[in-house]
A and B are shown apart, each in its own frame.
Chain A
């Protein structure tokens, strides 16, 4: 049998065999002993190639032979308060607890920390959402930490330096560097040692993104500006300078120098839902063809994405691409092992992920095969240049119709998230293939400065007949390349920001006039961790039902009633809506969708009315991308005879 497969793979052109990410990058699971709850907060390799893992339950575990099939586990430290980062330097671990940066040293060499030194401590209000991350060591031995905002119905900086990036020296000197941060769970260096941080969709943040941070920068969420008038603040921007509805961030940034637009946007639900760690490929080819590029994890979608960066007008911008999905839990941390493999630490407690495990540790291994990928997208005069990982088939590559380009942007406003606005297509006039056939130069009309450009490539094959593993990239065009002719800007309004859901027979939000009252009112709320607070309810067929959905969570949710056993299908279809998702409230048009609410902002509510369909076990599910696998319940409909009121 094995021989037959081998034979087939020789006889068939490679392109005819379905390829998958797994062919190029293999996920290996590192077994964790049953007694250890390894909810990963931080990862750090030691100088002697052990792997330190800090956990959300306050422990630090030391893995011996971490590159082996079954590493050993020994507990190095305990009792910490949710340490969400770990670093190793000069024989000691450094971690960031909620309240401080702590240095952990094993002074008597018994394999356990006996010295817990407080390097620098900051105040806390006591709000659970005040997560603290890091440290990240700078070459000179100083450390960077980031401080999450509190959540009080919206993100807020209740005590000093929440929402900031801080630099801290080994002897406890602290310098505030930048603010505007909301949920800065991941940050790291690019290949040149510049600092980038990942941000999640939320209030003031239309979609996930990474932003280059330099001293004095303001990255978007105004809460941290509460402290911009402190004597050591590196910027003077006042909070009241940020109106509730700004419009477009890149326009706003033109007038206020400290405002830093995102370097690369990650379109929400298409390129993840919660960007986490940032890891630059320093393996010099040991991990495949992307040396020097950046990998960005996603907690909610259990995947890793890829970023190409370039500098235009002295500022960073670039493109993100899909890379590898299918990890077992929510990705929080990524680090390179001594074997040039990517070690991925995960947790999904409180924030569920598409990978269903509550926590995990996996290793991403390059199989040695090169995928056919869009390696890079560069801004050039009046167009883009696409670079591929291998020579392309010139006949398709030189056709303008192979490429479709759409641009769009998100609103910059107080509200949680943003729909896609000002979406329009670009006209590709020509595609020129380079002499070595690894690059294609596109000429086009319709480029928009400050916008995200979706670049899709259809039907392209490599010269050897391989299909693209991923055929899309999203380039954030903060600055035009030199020589670009400026086209008329799109009217900057939020008119396209109408509610994404229309009233229809599947979404009736007013009680039908012929009803005197509903036979039954079902109230469904949410619980933290992507759950409805009601797992099932029972109604009788023909009942007049009112479902009131209260979104008391701190993220977007809807409630979609589906045909029996159709929640998975509906959830998958919602994920596949792509850019159209926000416009449709993430509700796909399909017969399996029976009734639904709109997508609801945090702490809002909607009631829908319907007549219960024939008896059966129906499902209700949140189709916000990434939620459907866990956030669901059952609607049991009994036949009229058995129903009792």
Chain B
């Protein structure tokens, strides 16, 4: 994915499965083995849970009410509602060493909790919404240690990536347990390889010299249960997935190779040919052959699987490639020609020896090089089987960051709304209050928003800028990518997915900068003009949108699309949440009645543009 860490919108629209940034394991292309899931249909996954932890069907935390979570009976969500006398921490039944963990959490206003790896090393959960400066004690912080009445260590998140209270947020952690020698002496500290909050990397390679404050244990161990803090405040969790890793790895042995010269249609043609040369090799690398193209390499040998189970094999190759294990095809990457477009295949292996055959066919494409064979297995992380010289290494260019100034900063550039769709007529706007958005000029679609820093323009301003795209420097919350405005034959008519540049029925004519530099986008309608202004109005992380149309004829067939998603919920306080508490939307002074409707499995929230005295106004606020 192109640096964007949010869920592709098109998936929300077209696939009915739930989709959040953390469930890549559900990805149908299976680029990773599925994670293990903590079942939240009952409390069996936990060790002697205290009564403050329960399983519920849904949770609601009014974003303005402190430390209150309301629940509905059922299953699927783990919630902590601590009482004065009942506020135990919660331990998993499983123990772990190295661990990849992903989960969603929701916190009410002013609440506090934490996730303790091995019951000892805490990533803090906290309502840090709206804070400019964050410390180790803020959401995503690696909490400090405590000895002799003194705090030490503790690492603040790189940026405040947290969302508003009452919204679901995503946390993902790659953790490495401390290592001990045979005498039990610690030889390496525990390490957070990477921590992401709402898709933003907030820590990389942070070592922790011992248990952090309020840990459940004072010693350190190779393996211990995961702990959720229960004694500080209410919190809810869902989609808790993990992968545990041990030290087992696949071993290759007795590797031989055959080198064929020429262009080959596929792997089959090789069986009838004689290789140009052949021999034994100690490792797998395309560099065995000293020519850029027009050859094939066949590797075969023994593969020793350390444990029985599912293995995911991945080939990345600057040519076609195939992998057989015990004469069965596992990966067919016959269409491959780029190392950044992998081919995958899952195989169930018994423990012990297997035969493999790997074919790499390079008819042309001489300017691309590389052959990689990677795998993931039971309690084995993604590991390379090829020699290190078989994949070219490239260092990233120095970043070109666009800074926000005391006035709104605008920057046009291309924008990836999902992996398939690059919008080309977009402008990113960074407000001085550190709320940013990106806007599609022809359609008036408010595509996405994010807090914190503005954009990285490296893909435009380094060398030729071959992607010409901007990337957000904060956790992007995607809004509706469909046009914001459309003329419909009726309120049931289908919403268009783009604006016809040539029809001129709805025409972008430019933007005016207000005295404070805020852009006001202008459009021409058949009977008037429309102005669209987006700003931050309150202290919250929010975008306030004000749409006003001047119409010289009464119209009733123009509509504004406020939101679109898998579901839109009308909350008790009158506001809406979109996509199961991804963001809030509040409508101000509606002069018409909002329309909630279903179209192709997505829910839409519309407002008709109804003019009074030639003026139509719509204003609403998005909060996250």
Contact = CB atoms under 8 A, between A and B. Distances in A.
Interface residues of B, number: 41
A141 interface: no
A364 to B, nearest CB: 28
Interface stretch (A371-379, A383-391, A543-551): A543-551
A118 B292 contact: no
A310 to B, nearest CB: 38
A113 B512 CA distance: 9
Given A528-B464, A529-B463, A529-B464, A79 B427 contact: yes
A102 B510 contact: yes
Most buried by B among A80, A128, A529, A607: A128
A506 interface: no
A44 interface: no
Nearest to A548: B292
A39 to B, nearest CB: 9
Interface in A69-86: 78-82
Contacts of B437: none
Interface in B353-370: 366-369
Q: Is the interface of A mostly helix, strand, loop or mixed?
A: loop
B497 to A, nearest CB: 15
B460 interface: yes
A350 B465 contact: yes
Nearest to A114: B513
B570 interface: no
A548 B409 contact: no
Interface in B426-467: 427, 441-442, 457, 460-461, 463-467
A550 B464 contact: no
Contacts of A118: 441, 508-510
A117 B509 contact: yes
A78 B409 contact: yes
Interface string A529-568: 1000100000000000010101110000000000000000
B293 A605 contact: yes
Interface stretch (A183-191, A497-505, A518-526): A518-526
B367 A551 contact: yes
Given A80-B412, A121-B425, A123-B501, A517 B463 contact: no
A126 B468 contact: yes
Contacts of B508: 118, 121
A125 B412 CA distance: 16
Contacts of B366: 548, 550, 604-605
Contacts of B460: 82
A511 interface: yes
A137 interface: no
Contacts of B515: 108
B411 interface: yes
B465 A128 contact: yes
Interface in A550-608: 550-552, 603-605, 607
Contacts of B425: 99-100, 121, 124
B467 A128 contact: yes
B513 A98 contact: no
A269 interface: no
A97 interface: yes
Contacts of A108: 515
Interface in A118-157: 118, 121-126, 128
B292 A607 contact: yes
Contacts of A97: 412
Given A58-B412, A79-B409, A126-B414, A552 B291 contact: no
A603 B293 CA distance: 12
A527 interface: yes
B369 A550 contact: yes
A116 interface: yes
B463 A117 contact: no
Contacts of A121: 425, 442, 501, 508
Contacts of A311: none
A607 B463 contact: no
A527 B463 contact: yes
Contacts of B509: 117-118
A520 to B, nearest CB: 9
B413 interface: yes
A126 B466 contact: no
A115 interface: yes
B464 A128 contact: yes
B136 interface: no
B31 interface: no
A605 B292 contact: yes
Nearest to A80: B412
A511 B367 contact: no
A168 to B, nearest CB: 14
A108 B515 CA distance: 9
A349 B424 contact: no
Contacts of A128: 464-468
B46 interface: no
Nearest to A544: B290
Nearest to A551: B367
B501 to A, nearest CB: 6
A552 B368 contact: yes
A529 B464 CA distance: 7
A601 B109 CA distance: 63
A57 interface: yes
B412 A81 contact: yes
Contact of A548 (B290, B424, B427, B467): B290
B463 A518 contact: no
Interface centre among A103, A115, A118 (most CB of B within 10 A): A118
B292 A350 contact: no
A525 B367 contact: yes
A79 B512 contact: no
B410 A78 contact: yes
Contacts of B414: 126
Contacts of B457: 57
Contacts of A113: 513
A538 B519 CA distance: 56
B527 interface: no
B277 to A, nearest CB: 9
Contacts of B513: 113-116
Nearest to A351: B464
Contact of A518 (B290, B422, B464): B290
B511 interface: yes
A57 B510 contact: no
Given A82-B465, A99-B425, A115-B511, 12 more contacts: A79-B410, A79-B412, A99-B424, A113-B513, A117-B510, A118-B441, A121-B501, A125-B424, A350-B463, A511-B290, A521-B287, A607-B292
Across chains A and B, which 10 residue pairs bring their CB atoms closest together, nearest first? A605-B366, A79-B410, A552-B367, A350-B464, A550-B367, A117-B510, A81-B412, A124-B424, A605-B292, A126-B422
Interface of B: 287, 290-293, 366-369, 392, 394, 409-414, 422, 424-425, 427, 441-442, 457, 460-461, 463-468, 501, 508-513, 515, 519
30 contacts: A57-B461, A79-B411, A79-B412, A80-B412, A81-B412, A81-B468, A82-B460, A99-B412, A99-B425, A115-B513, A116-B511, A116-B512, A117-B509, A121-B442, A123-B424, A126-B468, A349-B461, A349-B463, A350-B465, A518-B290, A523-B392, A525-B369, A528-B464, A533-B394, A548-B292, A550-B369, A551-B367, A552-B368, A604-B367, A605-B292
